[in-house]
Structure 1
Amino acid sequence: MHQDEPVGFWSYTRRDDEIERGKIKRLVDLISDEFEIMTGRELHIFFDKEDISWGEEWRSRIDSAIIGTTFMIAIVTPRFLRSQECRREVITFSSHASSRGLDDLLLPILYSGPPDLLDGDHEDEVAALIKRRNYVNWTHLRLEDEGSPEYRRAVHELAQRLAEILDRSSEMEPTAQEALIVDDQVGIVDQLADMEKALPLLAECLTGFGQVTGEIGSHMQWATGEIGESDKGNGGFAGRLRVSDQLADRLQVPVKKLAELGDQYASTLAIVDPGVLTFIRMAKDPNLPDEDRAAVEDFFRIVVGTVAASRENVPILTGFASSAEDTAKYSRSMRPLMRTLVNSVQRVVDGQAVMDEWERLIKEGGDPTVSLS
């Protein structure tokens, strides 16, 4: 396959396709065929993520400027949003595309789910990202027969939209160097200094997460003791409900703090990510002046340290979120609080996917000055 040929990646959950009796896989073929008959160009879409060629082509495409001819179609369902693998794929692709000003190359299809799955102000970062990408609503169309006029028309519209997006993206893609040009011609070293100031904010957010989750854990421990005492006194379900309601009152403030930290973490990452990716691409330029290259390499050391520190926190936070979900079963008053807590922790997990990508790219760039052990 030629590097300038349009290539797509299909992000979905295997179980959804099994439930649909292979209908999701057949949709890949229908879109590819419709694209070819409309444009005269073949459209290759990678569907089987277990195939080694998926990973090889994925790395080749998102690591280079040919992302302008590369797209991702995400088949969004409730199970999709719960899949860490699917979330990582969407976040990684969107991060690379956005850093080049090519947001349209992520094309989400809302395939199934409740009407409010993507509506409202979402605490779920991936759901919010998908909503911003002008997704296609397929929840009613998927119930149509694949040979029906409605279904065929919808496939045609998807293929047409895809052709328009690819044509537009291939024409407007900026180079890594162009992405760094600003109105006042700020130097590379100055821009790196600004980035270095932003990175510690991520570490501060993670420190805050640790402090607040510790506070929440203490309140939960208190509740466990109180429930034990209530059970000894034959307090029954009424006693447990009373303690749960008291716990909900105690958790209002710390859970609100956790949500604020999650917002700050996500917004800081959104600011830093395009710059990090741009500097990683820029480091591959053999004409980069020695002074600038040295500054970039120093910056990479800070990035790698930040990634490692964050990674250590993820298992702790996910374990805490899992126990919080169990706590949510106690009473109705606990459920919204625990939902907010879990979503806040998910932002850190999603953010780690972004930072892991930084580390991978720096490592594969072969920078000998950065230790990644």
Structure 2
Amino acid sequence: MHRDDELEGGRIRRLAKAIQNEYELLTGDRLNLFVDNENIEWGNEWRGVIDSALLQTAFFVPLITPLYLRSEQCRREFVEFVGRASSANARELVLPIIYAETPAVTDPDTQDEVARIVQQIQWEDWRKLRLAEESSPEYRSAVNKVANRLVAIAAEVAERPVEPLIDEAGDDSPGSLDQMAIAEHNIFRWAEIMADLGKDLPDLANIARDHLAKLKESDRRGGGMRGRLVVMNEFANALSGISERVLENGLAFSRSAIEADPGIQAIIRMIHGEAESDEEREQVEQFYRQIEEVSETGTAAVVSLRDLIQNIDNVQSLARVVKTPMRQLRKGLTGVIDGVTVLNGWSRLIDEVRGAAS
């Protein structure tokens, strides 16, 4: 977001301010509007901001661009806010603005989970308006439209009880302990994916190291560009199977975790109250430990994933032949990071629930 604003000469921040001013003009109330993570420490403070926003009917307005979708920090912000808003039955508080042409958002078959969520929300289109004069009637009318929409959403959400989504089920639906058993199936699958990734990462590192050595040897022998292309072709072939596997696992992990997020948040908040016997309390603790173990495994893997994604971005520029496997790897690894963000949120929520119960 910061880089986008720099590229736009500050127009993005001025847009946020214009929406805030218009909202205050229409309602007399100050609008709490978070357009990015400026001045917000990541961790407990940011999660506190999210919770306060939900209680005060503040809004999260991500301005979507290709750079936004490539930013791990922005994606984490988006996934956390959407998950908590959904679990509080207030997903409308997320209002994306498509600020620049972003193919992943307009692609009906997108493999990007954040882009897929944006597609499900009634977003505002700013792709042409960003080229308009900020003082023009066209631009000011569009700002007024967004502000009026926020006014309507705030009124609607204010009348709705803030309840976990699991409470919306009928009397005959499974209780939270039953839902916990269903969720354990997904947790087992995520643990398998993390185990597979644990095997793939060393293989990826070995493949990259071996072919980097071949590249240097080719240069030493004076192989020139032709020699480099031969090595890059070998590199692409060596990556093809593993990149497809990482893509499939990463996308499956992120999608299932994000889709399960509101329900599992609700389950975590409720199962302490439903567990009456020692056996049931032990079941709850076992469920918690399963989440924490996968979260810890994923967190450890993310350190390596960040370095790998950086290397992928560097390697993609070397030769066209490696772009497809490199792109697959980046998408898959980004999906894993998105999924780990969700699991880390559950682990922190478990700590909160335990602390409240003690």
Q: TM-score, structure 1 length as denominator?
A: 0.82
Alignment of 1:66-81 (within 5 A): 66=55, 69-81=57-69
CA 1:179/1:349 → structure 2, altered by over 3 Å: closer, same or farther? same
User: 5+ residue gaps in structure 1?
Assistant: 1-12
Counterpart-to-counterpart distance in 2, 1:337 and 1:177: 39
Quick check: 160-169 or 341-350, which moved more? 160-169
CA, structure 1 residues 49+295, in 2 after alignment: closer, same or farther (shift >3 Å)?
Answer: farther
Q: Is the 8 A contact 1:244 1:334 kept in 2?
A: yes
> Could you tell me how far 1:261 is from its partner in structure 2?
0.7
Q: RMSD across aligned C-alpha pairs, in angstroms?
A: 3.1
Name the residue aligned to 2:149. Answer: 161
Q: Contact 1:65–1:175 (CA<8 Å) still a contact in 2?
A: no
- The residue type equivalent to 1:59 in the other structure is G
Selected match of 1:49 from 38, 43, 56: 38
Q: Of the candidates 306, 324, 348, which is equivalent to residue 360 of structure 1? A: 348
Q: Do the aligned partners of residues 189 and 147 (structure 1) sit closer, same or farther apart at CA in structure 2, a change above 3 Å counting?
A: same
Q: Distance in 1 between matches of 2:356 and 2:289?
A: 11
Aligned counterpart, 1:32: 20
- Is the 1:100–1:179 contact (alpha carbons within 8 Å) kept by the matching residues of 2? no
Q: What is the number of equivalent residue pairs in this alignment?
A: 353
**Counterpart AA for 2:245:** K
Residue in 1 that maps onto 2:276: 290
Alignment of 1:225-264 (within 5 A): 225-264=213-252
Q: Does the CA-based 8 Å contact 2:68-2:75 persist in structure 1?
A: yes
Structure 1 residues 64 and 295 mapped into 2: Cα distance closer, same or farther (>3 Å)? farther
Task: Tell me: CA distance 1:273–1:57, structure 2 relative to 1, closer, same or farther (3 Å).
Answer: closer
Deviations 1:202-247 (A, max 9, x none): 1111111222333333433443344344334432211110221232
Q: 1:307 aligns with which of 271, 287, 295?
A: 295
CA contact 1:279–1:296 (8 Å) conserved in 2 = no
Shift of residue 61, structure 1, vs aligned partner = 4.8
**Contact 2:32-2:53 within 8 A present in 1 as well:** no
**Structure 2: how far apart are the matches of 1:71 and 1:139?**
21
Deviation track 1:320-342 (CA, whole Å, cap 9, x = no partner) reads 23223333233101012101101
Q: How far apart, CA to CA, are the structure 2 residues paired with 1:178 and 1:342?
A: 34
Counterparts of residues 1-373 of structure 1 (less than 5 Å):
13-46=1-34, 49-50=38-39, 59=48, 61-62=50-51, 66=55, 69-112=57-100, 114=101, 116=103, 118-120=105-107, 121-173=109-161, 175-176=163-164, 179=167, 181-182=169-170, 184-282=172-270, 288=274, 290-291=276-277, 295-367=283-355
Moved more, 329-338 or 31-40: 31-40
Residue range with higher mean Cα deviation, 139-148 or 94-103: 94-103
Instruction: State whether residues 20 and 31 of structure 2, in contact with CA within 8 Å, keep that contact through their aligned partners in structure 1.
Output: yes
Structure 1's 318 and 43: CA in aligned 2 closer, same or farther, altered over 3 A?
A: closer
User: Helix, strand or coil for the counterpart of 1:146?
Assistant: coil
Unpaired runs of 5+ residues, structure 2, are: none
TM-score, normalised to structure 2's length? 0.85
**C-alpha displacement of 1:248:** 1.6
Whether the 8 Å CA contact 1:73–1:109 is kept in 2: the answer is: yes
Residue 295 of structure 1 deviates from its aligned partner by: 4.2
Do the aligned residues in 1 keep the contact of 2:236 with 2:325 (CA within 8 Å)?
yes
Whether contact under 8 Å (1:88, 1:350) holds in the other structure is yes
